[in-house]
A and B are shown apart, each in its own frame.
Chain A
């Protein structure tokens, strides 16, 4: 079931791949809603490549203040104020390198070899007391 769901997302992503923004928005929306348990998720975007997801998804709202964001999308952790990293905002990396090298991040969304990747850090989830539905289990490590 989980695999099918993921494949469905992938298929949707691939079918509509001409609209990369839509694909990114769907993935972010899918994971973000599970992480924050909200229908509408406010996101602070540090990675400019993800600035276009708001125009195509109703569930995602952009915030210019990282303190008020439910989720912070980062490419370079150095550019995020420490205060934001210490509050309740969930930090998600947009590259594997950021994910691997940043202790604050709870997970990552990124494209590699033309394929969308979702990774969620099990230990961090436990720390934050986040319990995810089973459909996200394949992405937890």
Chain B
């Protein structure tokens, strides 16, 4: 990520450099043009002077200019005085030369003030370029920029022509000072250009320096000070830039870490975390990305140039390295294990969040299946199950989320006493998706809250419309979500009059460590008239501990036990025992997943209060209340 910023600055610097260079080149071109224009101006002026000299010669020698060779030295001196008038800072030498009979150039007049520089009358003159002969021949004025070593800037030659014959060539040698004076006109511009360019480069360097310091600081804030691995800030800042095509995602969670903190203190817990982070780092490569995602949870982006089998090996190697890690701290030997959930192909998910959710789900599966294990998600088998979070959000928005109602009847009377509202998403193609297929993707998201809100609305609508009792499912973990709980509470308060017809069925998706917090919130809902049921009792995390803490109004015996009634004789005893406990605790019980008529009679004999299942009625969109 920083490389891209560096590249950006490098390109900016390059563009600026090219820009400045072009500016100078353009400036030089402009100066050249301006100098040429100035030269033309100067040349037109000196051409005027040359014509004056020509006129003077015509006046002095009206018959033939060659008469000058018959002049006395005094007369020559007189004529040279005219030329001397032009000599100064601008024109260093002004003189007139002619060719003798042997075609050698000789001085005729010279306005030079210095004796050593003055060519004497008829002194041989050695021209430095063929231009002299060309002017003589073509009879057209010419000028030439001289080499600086001559101490001259420019030489202008003007032919004095009489009757079609070139008699003389008048020469003006410009002082180099003249050129310098012209250059001085533009030098402030050049200076400004230099200053502006320098400031621009300086600004760029400073901004680069600032950006470098900013990113250095940002990088520092992305490192977890305890474990020295990346923290959530890194994920927040750069997570979306990670190319999921190149990585597998693993979520590593230390088993029972809370116990380590509670038993040995947070200082020991911190050391354990540090050692585990180091252990993971030792098991991965430099191109993998390790992030401390939560308290004892690490998120690992594994570079996937390797196959699923290698990912599995890496994940297991990490798990094993943690369990084998020597955790002897101050004579305390701590046994640490970790559970790992892996999403081997996050590119199949619509977003990084979705991909992490899958890995997280696998982590919970690893926890459920006994911890200290690796669970890897198999995308191929679950292709239909997984849908994008955006699709689910869209389904809610387009009102394709429906509450299907399944009847619950009284065993004694056979009368339907309530309905369980079950969420279903129907695709545009008409395919129905069940909660297990979409809830894991959206849990703890706004979409999940919207879904809960819609389901509650549907339940209240059914109660209001048909006067029936309805039960609705919530995960106990939902009550830790402040926003979601406040929303549920507000909706119940709003429908307080009919709230007594609503039952909240609590599902246990994971172990609840702080049960008292849940009880407190459940009691506050109960005060609004809502009944509470514990769902799926007898499987997963639903334990007697919950019954004693939550004191539910209903207990739903898990369908996996009911389904065994026909084939497992002990199932009957287990159901009978649960029913007995319920009667003792004055809790109504419900047997779910009752699919056969024969079971009804058995359940009736066992004293079951209510039954739910295909034998009574399938979940249906259309409520038929008789």
Q: Given contacts A7-B130, A10-B128, is CB(A114)–CB(B151) below 8 Å? A: yes
| Inter-subunit contact B128/A96 (CB<8 Å) | no
Residues in B neighbouring A139, C-beta threshold 8 A: 126
Cβ contacts B104-139/A at 8 Å (1 or 0 each): 100000001001110110011111111000000000
**Chain A: CB-nearest residue to B116:** A95
Candidates A13, A97, A114, A138; contact of B146 at CB < 8 Å: A114
Whether the Cβ atoms of B150 and A115 lie closer than 8 Å is yes
Give the contacting residue for B128; candidates A14, A100, A118, A138; CB below 8 A.
Answer: A14
Report chain A residues within 8 Å CB of B127: 115
Q: How far is the CA of A16 from the CA of B115 in the complex (A)?
A: 26
- Cα of A96 to Cα of B104 in the assembled complex, Å: 17
A141 on the B face (CB < 8 A): yes
Within 8 A of B (CB), among A4-51: 6-7, 10, 13-18, 20
CB pair B126 A118 closer than 8 Å = yes
Report A2 CB to chain B, min CB distance, Å: 12
Assembly CA distance A115 to B93 (angstroms): 12
Residue of B120, B125, B150 near A114 (CB, 8 A) is B150
Q: A7-B129, A14-B149, A17-B150 are in contact. Are A112 and B117 (CB under 8 A)?
A: yes
- Which residues 100-125 in A have Cβ within 8 Å of B in the complex? 100, 112-119
Determine whether B147 belongs to the interface, using a CB cutoff of 8 Å to chain A.
yes
A112 x B119 contact (CB < 8 A): yes
Residues of chain B contacted by A6 (CB below 8 angstroms): 126
CB contact under 8 A between A113 and B146, given known A14-B128, A96-B123, A138-B104:
no
Q: Does B152 contact A (CB under 8 A)?
A: yes
Cβ B120 vs Cβ A96 within 8 A: yes
Q: How large is the interface on B (under 10, 10 to 19, 20 to 34, 35 or more residues)?
A: 20 to 34
Q: Would you give the shortest CB distance from B154 to chain A, in whole angstroms? A: 12
Q: Does B535 contact A (CB under 8 A)?
A: no
Q: Is the CB of B116 within 8 A of A112?
A: yes
B253 close to chain A: CB less than 8 A:
no
Q: Which residues of B are found within 8 Å of A118, using beta-carbon distances? A: 126
The answer, among A7, A14, A138, for a CB contact under 8 Å with B147, is A14
Give the chain A neighbours of B150 by CB distance below 8 A. 14, 17, 113-115
Shortest Cβ distance from B566 into chain A, in angstroms? Answer: 114
How many angstroms between the C-alpha atoms of A7 and B125 in the bound complex?
Answer: 14
**Known contacts A113-B93, A113-B112; A100/B151 CB under 8 A:** no
Bound-complex Cα distance A18 to B95 (A): 26
Decide yes or no whether B558 CB sits under 8 A from chain A.
Answer: no
Beyond A96-B123, A138-B104, whether A114 also contacts B152 by CB under 8 A is: yes
Determine the main DSSP class of B at the interface with A: loop
Bound-complex Cα distance A114 to B92 (A): 11
**Bound: A118/B126 CA distance, A:** 8
Q: State whether A116 touches B126 (Cβ < 8 A).
A: yes
CB nearest neighbor in A for B129:
A7
Tell me which of A14, A100, A113, A116 contacts B117 (CB under 8 A): A113
**Max count, chain A CB within 10 A of own CB: residue among B123, B146, B149:** B149
For B119, the chain A residues whose CB sits under 8 A away are 96, 112-113
Q: Is B173 an interface residue (CB 8 A)?
A: yes
Residue numbers in B under 8 Å from A17 (CB-CB): 147-150
Q: In whole angstroms, what is the CA distance A36 to B476 when docked?
A: 120
Report B139-164 CB contacts with A as 1/0, cut-off 8 Å: 00000001111111000000000000
The complex places the Cα of A112 from the Cα of B120 at a distance, in Å, of 11
B-chain residues with CB within 8 Å of residue A117 when the two chains form the complex: 124-126
Roughly how many angstroms separate A100 CA and B120 CA in the complex, as a whole number? Answer: 10
Name the residue on A nearest B130 (C-beta): A7
Contact among A3, A13, A141 with B124 in the assembled complex (CB-CB below 8 Å): A141
Q: How far is the CA of A32 from the CA of B244 in the complex (A)?
A: 87
Question: Which of B117, B120, B150 has its CB near the most chain A CB atoms (within 10 A)?
Answer: B150
Give complex CA distance A6, B123 in Å. Answer: 18
Q: Encode contact with A along B258-292: 1 for CB under 8 Å, 0 otherwise.
A: 00000000000000000000000000000000000
- A14–B152 Cα gap in the complex (Å)? 12
In Å, the complex CA distance between A119 and B125 comes to 9
B149: contacting residue among A3, A18, A95, A138, CB under 8 A = A18
The answer on a CB contact under 8 Å between A113 and B173 is yes
Cβ of B115: which chain A residues have Cβ within 8 Å of it? Answer: 97
Q: Closest approach, in angstroms, between the C-beta of A47 and any C-beta of chain B?
A: 12
A115 and B147 form a contact (CB under 8 A): no
Q: How far is the CA of A38 from the CA of B148 in the complex (A)?
A: 34
**Which residues of chain A are near B95, meaning CB under 8 Å?**
113
Min C-beta distance of A19 to chain B, whole Å: 9
In the complex, the chain B residue whose C-beta lies closest to that of A115 is B128
Nearest to A10 among chain B residues (CB) is B128
Chain A residues contacting B112 (CB-CB under 8 Å) are: 113
Closest to B100 in A: A141
Chain B residues in 8 Å Cβ range of A115:
126-128, 150
Which A residues are in CB contact (< 8 Å) with B149?
Answer: 13-14, 16-18, 20, 114
- For the complex formed, measure the closest distance between the CB of A87 and the CB atoms of chain B, giving whole angstroms: 28
List, in ascending order, chain B residues with CB within 8 A of A18's CB.
149
| Max chain A Cβ within 10 angstroms of own Cβ: one of B93, B104, B117, B123 | B123
In the bound complex, CA of A86 to CA of B126 (Å)? 30
Q: Measured between alpha carbons, how far is A135 from B127 in the docked complex, in Å?
A: 16
CB distance from A66 to the nearest CB of B (A): 24
Q: How far is the CA of A96 from the CA of B130 in the complex (A)?
A: 23
Question: How many angstroms between the C-alpha atoms of A110 and B262 in the bound complex?
Answer: 107
B117 to chain A, nearest CB (A): 6
Min Cβ gap A131→B in Å is 19
> What are 26 A-to-B residue pairs whose CB atoms are below 8 Å?
A3-B130, A6-B126, A7-B129, A13-B149, A14-B128, A14-B147, A14-B149, A14-B150, A16-B149, A17-B148, A17-B149, A20-B149, A95-B116, A96-B120, A97-B116, A112-B117, A113-B119, A113-B173, A114-B146, A114-B149, A114-B150, A115-B126, A115-B127, A117-B124, A119-B124, A138-B104
Task: Report A's interface with B, CB cutoff 8 A.
Answer: 3, 6-7, 10, 13-18, 20, 95-97, 100, 112-119, 138-139, 141
Known contacts A114-B173, A141-B124; can you find 9 more A-B pairs with CB under 8 A? A7-B129, A17-B147, A20-B149, A96-B119, A114-B146, A114-B151, A115-B128, A117-B126, A138-B104
Q: Considering the complex of A and B, which 7 residue pairs feature the smallest CB-CB distances, nearest first?
A: A17-B149, A114-B150, A14-B147, A114-B151, A117-B126, A115-B128, A113-B93
